Amino acid sequence: MNCCLLLPFMLGIPLLWPCLKATENSQAKKVEQPVGAHGRVKRGWVWNQFFVPEEMNTTSHHIGRLRSDLDNGNNSFQYKLLGAGAGSTFVIDERTGDIYAIQKLDREERSLYNLRAQVKDITTGRAVEPESEFVIKVSDINDNEPKFLDEPYEASVPEMSPEGTLVIQVTASDADDPSSGNNARLLYSLLQGQPYFSVEPTTGVIRISSKMDRELQDEYWVIIQAKDMIGQPGALSGTASVLIKLSDVNDNKPIFKESLYRLSVSESAPTGTSIGRIMAYDNDIGENAEMEYSIEEDDSQTFDIITNNETQEGIVILKKKVDFEHQNHYGIRAKVKNHQVDEQLMEYHTEASTTFIRIQVEDVDEPPLFHLPYYIFEVLEENPQGLFVGMVSATDPDNKKSPIRYSIARSKMFSIDDNGTITTTSPLDREISAWYNLSITATEKYNIEQISSIPVYVQVLNINDHAPEFSQYYETYVCENAGSGEVIQTISAVDRDESIEEHHFYYHLSVEDTNNSSFTIIDNQDNTAVILTNRTGFNLQGEPVFYISILIADNGTPSLTSTNTLTVQVCDCDDTGSTQTCQYQELMLSVGFKTEVIIAVLICIMIIFGFIFLTLGLKPRRKQILFPEKSEDFRENIFRYDDEGGGEEDTEAFDIAELRSGTVMRERKPGKSTCAEIRSLYRQSLQVGPDSAVFRQFILEKLEEANTDPCAPPFDSLQTYAFEGTGSLAGSLSSLESAVSDQDESYDYLNELGPRFNRLACMFGSAVQSNN
């Protein structure tokens, strides 16, 4: 049995695929059939594939027909469709075998469907033919526009690049079948970006078509279009935007916008001071705008310019100090250039930009200026007072030329006058001080705050004014049994004078010792000499001590000679020459010991007497402190009671009614008159001091007054009584408790108290007479 697939014309394209002959291994039932319409013997039914156009209408679009060779058209066969898409995408007419697409087909989603077909006899329900497979292929149509997958694009290219420089390549993709005609063949074109850019039609490479300057425009937007079907009519298109930025190159030199700068500097400014700033401008950016400033014209070499790398400013600094009186203005020329310039861009930097800087020096009041930084003077020692040492000189550098005063700080040996002349105030001794370091101060008379100081060094020159002398104290002895010519001492000398040549000393015995001496001297010619015995044997008891006068002369000009005494003791020596007994030495030791003891005893006595005098001196002070009532300091004694009680609401501490009653005056003690009382106090004051009976009587009187006084403070208060002593001749001068008038009192007794009370007697006596 054979079958034939009938394909209708769809979308104007005839389907020319006939029914294919069954393969040899086909399981279809083989039934002999007459020759078909194509002149071939059809055996069984076999179908291979269908080509279905894309974008078909979803409302049952007819694709083709399946038909068995055994089907005689009596509708006794039933066709069925199996596989992926059967029933959902494709359906079959069970009577006729016609296949329909019931959904829209998209090749980009699925381009191939594998289906199976069955044919059964309706009456028996059995398969007429074996199940066979066939393929439905979806053919492509141009239904997808080109798309740029990586947009938006961004590229960078150096400014001033030549034509043809590659910028970027853009690529679009088309989802249509590239093997189906020209559906996926793209063509690129430029919609925006002319005349600076161009694009290659087939590759999408964007290139520069003309030079561009970043300083005029630093970025460009380019729109690229891609069309499929090689741009033929009906083609679909897509676009993409490309941002092209121009990177900077150093094609601009820095330029000064100001042709003249005016700056000023104080003449007191130290070197390194910043005077001002200058600024150049560069249209480039980044490293291409880094500048370097320098001085082009400055004959004085007074100023310099450094570059601030952060702000790209030129800082004018002072290289040397300026002086208004010497030069009050300067003119310099500065230039600027880029720090780094590529070799191919040197044509843009042929001539550097320059500017002129005028600097005005400001005058300030300067301190005096010495003519020299320091002075060194020389003077001979031992010259009289007022000797001229030297002269210093300072002047006011300002135009006013103020007079100068000079002074020497902390020096008692020199003085200076207003002319700067230094003189000595006392003779100088080189052996005490060979150099003097002075500090001379110059002060302006018109402005004493302007001060300058310089060091002055005075060297005291030596004269031969010191004779040589022994270099040390010598303790020399000679044995009783010494023979003639024995060396008993080696001596040397020193000279405090300074000698230009090396010191040389000459040793001799005095004339008396030379004529009659038991000793002799030999000069070693090396500034030392030896003392030798001039006889044999000495007597310790007869002559225990010898005094030798030695003359020592120096080589100074003039030569000075001194007489030095060498003491030689005679000692009892043993056979080896060791001293056994030196009577003079023992005597000196005993005397020295006694002297030390006497001094120690005297010191102890002085300490004891000092302690006694100190003790006696402190006793009057102690008596004065114990008896203050004998002093003449009369004061009022005021007792203050700060106990306030509980207020008017407090009725437990005391009776409130007593406070509201009339004022109760304390009763005065009858008895003594004022005159008699003062005389009594006078007698009491003659006592040695207060005793226990006086204290007891005082306290009892105060206690009785407190108990009988209704106006006394509350009972729970604390009263403090300070005993003032036995009183004084004048009594109390206080006006407290003076409730009774004293007009009738007589103050004549004041005249009897001595001269210290004459003033009071005069005052009170006259007051009483005026009142009478």
Higher pLDDT, 316 or 95: 316
Q: What angle do CA 635, 640, 646 make, to 5 degrees?
A: 175
Q: How confident is the model at residue 420 (pLDDT cuts 50, 70, 90)?
A: very high
pLDDT, residue 306, reads: 93
- Arithmetic mean of pLDDT, 205-210: 94
- Arithmetic mean of pLDDT, 438-461: 91
Q: Say how many CA atoms lie within 13 Å of 755 toward its Cβ.
A: 0
Q: How many CB atoms lie within 10 A of CB 561?
A: 13
For residue 677, the one-letter residue type is E
pLDDT, residue 11, reads: 29
- Is 90 exceeded by the pLDDT of residue 757? no
pLDDT, residue 55, reads: 55
d(CA 208, CA 165): 5
Phi, psi of 765 (to 5 degrees): -65, -40
pLDDT, residue 52, reads: 61
Higher pLDDT, 458 or 583: 458
- My answer on whether omega of the bond before 397 falls inside 30° of 0, hence cis, is no
- Highest mean pLDDT, choosing among 108-112, 466-470, 749-753: 466-470
The H or E element spanning position 132 is strand 132-139
Least confident of 388-392, 424-428, 682-686: 682-686
- Arithmetic mean of pLDDT, 584-594: 50
pLDDT, residue 189, reads: 93
d(CA 450, CA 368): 7
- Is 90 exceeded by the pLDDT of residue 375? yes
For the entire predicted model, the pTM comes to 0.43
- Arithmetic mean of pLDDT, 745-756: 72
- Arithmetic mean of pLDDT, 409-435: 89
pLDDT, residue 461, reads: 85
d(CA 185, CA 323): 86
Q: How confident is the model at residue 146 (pLDDT cuts 50, 70, 90)?
A: very high
Q: Whole-number mean pLDDT of the chain? A: 77
Closest CA to 29 of 54, 3, 55, 57: 3
Closest CA to 124 of 69, 82, 81, 70: 70
Contact 379, 458 (CB under 8 A): yes
The H or E element spanning position 390 is strand 388-391
User: What is the SS3 assignment for 219-245?
Assistant: EEEEEEEEECHHHCCCCCEEEEEEEEE
Higher pLDDT, 474 or 75: 474
- Arithmetic mean of pLDDT, 701-720: 67
Least confident of 334-343, 673-682, 756-765: 673-682
d(CA 200, CA 221): 17
Closest CA to 749 of 690, 686, 667, 677: 677
Higher pLDDT, 580 or 104: 104
Give the number of residues written for the chain: 772
Q: Which residues pair with 304 in a beta bridge?
A: 317
Instruction: Take residue 412 and report the two structure tokens written for it.
Output: 């008692």
% of residues, the chain, pLDDT over 70: 73
pLDDT, residue 255, reads: 93
Q: How confident is the model at residue 389 (pLDDT cuts 50, 70, 90)?
A: very high
What are the start-end ranges of the H helices in 627-691?
656-660, 674-685
Q: How confident is the model at residue 192 (pLDDT cuts 50, 70, 90)?
A: very high
User: What is the SS3 assignment for 275-339?
Assistant: EEEEEEECCCCHHHHCEEEEEEECCCCCEEEEEECCCCEEEEEECCCCCCCCCCEEEEEEEEEEC
- Is 70 exceeded by the pLDDT of residue 206? yes
Domains parsed from the chain with CATH numbers: 49-139 (2.60.40.60), 147-247 (2.60.40.60), 255-362 (2.60.40.60), 369-461 (2.60.40.60), 469-590 (2.60.40.60)
Least confident of 237-241, 511-515, 519-523: 511-515
- Is 50 exceeded by the pLDDT of residue 343? yes
Determine the 3-state secondary structure of 4 from DSSP. Answer: coil
Q: How confident is the model at residue 464 (pLDDT cuts 50, 70, 90)?
A: confident
Q: Cα dist. 578→522, 538, 574, 585 in Å?
A: 24, 15, 6, 15
Higher pLDDT, 675 or 573: 573
Contact 349, 340 (CB under 8 A): no
Higher pLDDT, 624 or 24: 624
Q: How confident is the model at residue 14 (pLDDT cuts 50, 70, 90)?
A: very low
Higher pLDDT, 520 or 752: 520
d(CA 222, CA 189): 11
Sheet holding 49-53, edge to edge: 49-53, 132-139, 112-121, 77-83
- Is 70 exceeded by the pLDDT of residue 649? no
- Is 70 exceeded by the pLDDT of residue 621? no
Least confident of 24-28, 146-150, 694-698: 24-28
Higher pLDDT, 220 or 621: 220
Q: How confident is the model at residue 700 (pLDDT cuts 50, 70, 90)?
A: confident
- Is 70 exceeded by the pLDDT of residue 737? no
Q: How confident is the model at residue 415 (pLDDT cuts 50, 70, 90)?
A: very high
In Å, how far from its chain's centre is CA 394?
A: 41
Q: In sequence order, what are the residues at sequence separation of 6 or more whose Cβ sits closer than 8 angstroms to the Cβ of residue 664?
A: 710, 711
Q: How confident is the model at residue 581 (pLDDT cuts 50, 70, 90)?
A: low
pLDDT, residue 156, reads: 94
% of residues, the chain, pLDDT over 90: 29
Higher pLDDT, 32 or 386: 386
Phi, psi of 49 (to 5 degrees): -155, 155
- Is 50 exceeded by the pLDDT of residue 635? no
Least confident of 267-281, 408-422, 543-557: 543-557
Helix, strand, coil percentages for the chain (3-state, nearest 5):
15, 35, 50
- Is 50 exceeded by the pLDDT of residue 682? no
pLDDT, residue 595, reads: 65
Q: Which residues pair with 262 in a beta bridge?
A: 358
pLDDT, residue 270, reads: 93
- Is 70 exceeded by the pLDDT of residue 527? yes
Q: Cα dist. 456→392, 440, 539, 750 in Å?
A: 9, 7, 64, 78
Instruction: Take residue 404 and report the two structure tokens written for it.
Output: 């100068």
- Is 60 exceeded by the pLDDT of residue 33? no
Contact 308, 325 (CB under 8 A): no
Place of tokens 């033929």: 232
- Arithmetic mean of pLDDT, 482-486: 87
In Å, how far from its chain's centre is CA 528?
A: 67
- Highest mean pLDDT, choosing among 540-544, 644-648, 653-657: 540-544
